[in-house]
Amino acid sequence: MLLVSNWKAYIESPKEAKELLAVAKKIARAGVHTIVIAPPSAYLGFFTKEQEVSLSLAAQDISETQSGAHTGEITAGLLSGMDVFYTILGHSERRAKGEIDSMVAAKTQQALLHKIIPIVCIGEKVRDENGAYLQGLRAQISAIYEAAPQKDRSKIIFAYEPIWAIGKSSCESITPADLREMILYIRKVIGEMITPTVALKVKILYGGSVSKINAKELTESSGVQGLLIGHASIDPKEMIAISKVVE
């Protein structure tokens, strides 16, 4: 499984960041999972050349722009030079600050151009009885593929993160049965936009109140290839437990 730790802005001390890195290395050394950590960008420089222990670095976001006169931007080119292998894009917490599909698509293009694998977050705010949320998900996926070169499309990872399930307790997370349905739907949509055979290779992750309590049931038959973990990822005991229960 691909286990991606999104530390968000929870970590504000280098000491804490280093301690969490040590935990991630320990989990990675067990060799069971691919471990990816997404620290706040200011800490990315601490963690270069970690790949030897199947630990990779992700940015939590990147700029839409290329290098140039863009004060404050963190470009894909800069990150690729720092051994950043993945980037989270279109997280709902960024979308809530005004990021729209076309911006996520532009960031995806930048990431691919610099050989950084995009982990694009998609997910509905609420569910309606008429299924409009399914059309919303389709639109989010379509915007990404329209902007991505055909040859790179299968490299894009999607993280299904229903917004209503983020930052809650495990009992308020999605049920395994609902997750399975959603992953089937997302893969079907991907299949229509690339090809059904290539769609089988596309990695889909789940994120939203994952913990040691629900990680096993959310992964065992839902069809996901990994998890995007938020608040549990900054708790060493939780992360070690999640890595043990997930197969």
Interface contacts to ligand 13P, rule CB under 6 A = 6, 91, 161, 166-167, 207-210, 228-232
Q: Is 166 or 202 the residue whose CB approaches ligand 13P more closely?
A: 166
Give the Cα separation of 198 and 220 in Å (integer).
Answer: 22
Helix axes 101-113, 132-147, angle to 10 degrees: 40
Q: Is 65 or 170 the residue whose CB approaches ligand 13P more closely?
A: 170
Cβ pair 122, 103 in contact under 8 A: no
- Maximum alpha-carbon separation in the chain: 49
Please state the closest distance from residue 68 (CB atom) to ligand 13P, in A.
29
How do the residues of the chain divide into helix, strand and coil, expressed in percent and rounded to 5?
50, 15, 35
Q: What are phi and psi of 15, to 5 degrees?
A: -65, -45
Please state the closest distance from residue 214 (CB atom) to ligand 13P, in A.
10
Q: Is 163 or 194 the residue whose CB approaches ligand 13P more closely?
A: 163
The strand pairing partners of 160, in sequence order, are 122, 206
Please state the closest distance from residue 119 (CB atom) to ligand 13P, in A.
9
Catalytic residues: 91, 161
